[in-house]
Amino acid sequence: MTISYNGSYSLSSPTQPIEFLDNYVVAELSDRAAVYNNGMPTFMKVDANGNLYWPEGVLDAVKNGTFNDVTGNTDWNSLLFHKFAPMQSHNISLNGGSKNTHYFMSARYYTLGGIYKTDISKNDRLNMRMHVDHYFDQIGLRLNGDVSFSQNKTQYPP
């Protein structure tokens, strides 16, 4: 009988960070939407002609986070994502037999962790296979059989 094992562990990383809007751009877009829907802007003011403008000091306060506890520049990539996602794979197989009987069994486990810090994305796979072959000398009959199992669990972000 021969037993074989192969395993690996690796880390993957995003190819490039996601570019998010700056906080002052979000603030301005939010105020423009509010005015468009006949509401009042939160950060900006409206002049006599209906144009939006940044009052003195407000733009800097929004950019540096001193306007209120909601604004400020947030590094969303480091807040939402791990730098690396772990991946591991394990394979084991048994192979052997006698003059008339041969068998092969294998199992593989694979898991890929998510890049999100909330661990809402993940992929786990389990595969198993067995093959048996027997030759009956006396009657000249060969009998073989295969059995396999596969399970895949995947979690996606909402």
- pLDDT digit string, tens, across residues 77-133: 888 888 888 999 999 999 999 999 999 999 999 999 888 887 778 899 999 999 999
Give the closest residue to 110 by CA, choosing from 88, 129, 136: 88
Report pLDDT for 53.
92
Give the closest residue to 59 by CA, choosing from 29, 20, 28, 35: 28
> Poorest-confidence range of 7-11, 47-51, 140-144?
47-51
Q: Which two tokens stand for residue 110?
A: 């694979």
How far is CA 123 from its chain centroid?
8
Please give the Cα distance from 64 to 24 (Å, whole number). 10
**What is Dmax (Cα atoms) for the chain?**
104
Report pLDDT for 69.
59
> Poorest-confidence range of 4-8, 15-19, 68-72, 87-91?
68-72
Burial of residue 139 (number of CB atoms within 10 Å: 0-12, 13-18, 19+): exposed
Please give the Cα distance from 127 to 25 (Å, whole number). 49
DSSP secondary structure letter of residue 116: B
Query: Tens digits of per-residue pLDDT, 27-79?
Result: 889 899 998 898 889 889 999 998 999 998 888 888 777 666 556 667 788 88
Please give the Cα distance from 130 to 109 (Å, whole number). 15
**What is the reported pTM?**
0.63
Q: Do residues 94 and 103 touch, judged by C-beta distance below 8 A?
A: yes
